Amino acid sequence: MTRTTLAARPRLTGRHAVGAATHRPTCTTGADAASVQPSGIAVRVSRVTTLERTPVMQDRDSAGSFDSFYAAEAVGLVRQLHALTGDLTVAQDCVQEAFARAWERWPIVSGYDAPAAWVRQVAYRLAVSRLRRAKVGLGLLRRHGPPPDAPDASPDHVALVTALRSLPEAQRRALVLHHLCDLSVEQVAAETGTPTGTVKARLSRGRAALAVLLADPAQEGSRG
């Protein structure tokens, strides 16, 4: 299995998620990965067959634009994927790998209308694959708890993620993309490959379910 190492790069967590703009993902494979300094973050890569791996040969301007893109989008994408998957560790690892793939293809990805949507889609596919094929490994991670540098989530955020996890995957994804990622109904439809009418129905049903799941028992009791 190929290993991609993101060297000299901060973990995507909390207010410390994004460091200096020069911390770009640096990809090493095979024996080279063993020589990376201990401060590097190793990520196991699940193959996405629809993506091509291209050599990392970027000029200084490309490197600068990627740095700005990473600094602007990294934290938000981790939060979005955390809401989609319900697992912070999976979200961090898959967003790291998605950024590494974006860096490898940056001359192409940077020309897209929404490069962040490309990274989010790649990260989401990696997360789905990982969650489906590594249930045993994820069970071990859950038993050991989150990493020490995991940010403290607010009670409201914890309640929201817990409620989202109880919804069908299609409804959860529509809600997160529309309300947390600020995508329009049409953009959600394009990203998920779903008709707009279906997206609207999923949003309506998801909101109704969340209203019940997130209802304050004290307020409900006062109404009675």
Domain with CATH 1.10.10.10 in the chain: 153-224
Q: For residue 121, what is the enclosing H or E element?
A: helix 115-133
For residues 224 and 207, give the distance between their C-alpha atoms in angstroms, rounded to a whole number. Answer: 23
- 185-192 and 115-133 are packed helices; what angle lies between their axes, rounded to 10 degrees? 50
- pLDDT on residue 102: 95
User: What are the backbone angles phi and psi of residue 193, rounded to the nearest 5°?
Assistant: 65, 40
Q: Which residues pair with 42 in a beta bridge?
A: 5
pLDDT tens for the chain, residues 1 to 224: 444 434 334 344 443 343 333 344 544 333 333 332 223 333 333 333 333 334 444 566 678 889 999 999 999 999 999 999 888 998 999 999 999 999 999 999 999 999 999 999 999 999 998 888 766 555 656 666 655 565 667 788 888 999 999 999 999 999 999 999 999 999 999 999 999 999 999 999 999 999 999 886 655 555 55
- pLDDT on residue 182: 93
- 115-133 and 60-85 are packed helices; what angle lies between their axes, rounded to 10 degrees? 50
Q: Phi-psi region for residue 128, left (φ > 0), alpha (ψ -120 to 50) or beta?
A: alpha
What 160-165 contacts at long range (C-beta under 8 Å, 24+ apart), as own/partner pairs, is: 160/83, 160/210, 160/214, 161/82, 161/83, 161/86, 162/86, 163/209, 163/210, 163/213, 163/214, 164/83, 164/86, 164/210, 165/86
- pLDDT on residue 123: 96
Q: Mark 158-187 as b/e (b = at least 16 C-beta within 10 Å).
A: eebbebbeebeebbbbbbbbbebbebeeeb
Which residue shows structure tokens 């700005």?
68
For residues 56 and 150, give the distance between their C-alpha atoms in angstroms, rounded to a whole number. Answer: 30
Fold for 153-224, please state it. Answer: Arc Repressor Mutant, subunit A (1.10.10)
Tell me how crowded residue 90 is: count the other CB atoms within 10 A of its CB.
22
